[in-house]
Amino acid sequence: MSPTPRPKNLNLLSIRMPVTAVLSIGHRIAGFLMVLATPFTIYLLEKSLRSAEEFAQAQEILSSNLRWLMLLPLGWFALHHLLAGLRFLLLDLGIGEDKQSAQLSAWTVFAVGAVGLILLLVVVA
């Protein structure tokens, strides 16, 4: 008797994801993008320390329009990753594991992240 093929749906966009899932993949994506940006950050650090002239150039780069493309997004990724990470640490300790608490904490992270984004926009501008 040949087995019937098991149903398979890998179309992620067709599945309604709970807020906790969105937070989790956002945490992963933010981390990944920050890893990609690490060489650039180290480069800026090196530049800022090499000479007074290059220190000024590094400041220039940070305050140029590049700040909208790099500083702001990276700052926001870092904030989200950190907040979601703290939530994960609490989950590791067993705090907030039930569905209600988990969803509440997930929304809280998004809310604090939104406030943080506004603050970042003010600081970066």
CB of 23 to another protein, least distance (A): 16
73 alpha-carbon distance from chain centroid = 9
In the chain, the DSSP E strands lie at none
Task: Please report, as a single letter, which amino acid is at residue 108.
Answer: T
Rg of the chain's alpha carbons, rounded to an integer? 20
CB of 63 to another protein, least distance (A): 12
CB of 3 to another protein, least distance (A): 23
Q: Helix 72-92 vs helix 99-124: angle between axes, to the nearest 10 degrees? A: 160
The residues of the shown chain that bind another protein, judged by CB under 8 A, are 28, 31-32, 35, 38-39, 42, 45-46, 48-49, 51-52, 55-56, 78, 82, 85-86, 89, 92, 123
Alpha carbon distance 23, 81 (integer Å): 9
CB of 28 to another protein, least distance (A): 7
How many CB atoms are closer than 10 A to CB 89?
10
- Judged by CB, which is closer to another protein: 78, or 117? 78
- Judged by CB, which is closer to another protein: 51, or 64? 51
- Judged by CB, which is closer to another protein: 1, or 10? 10
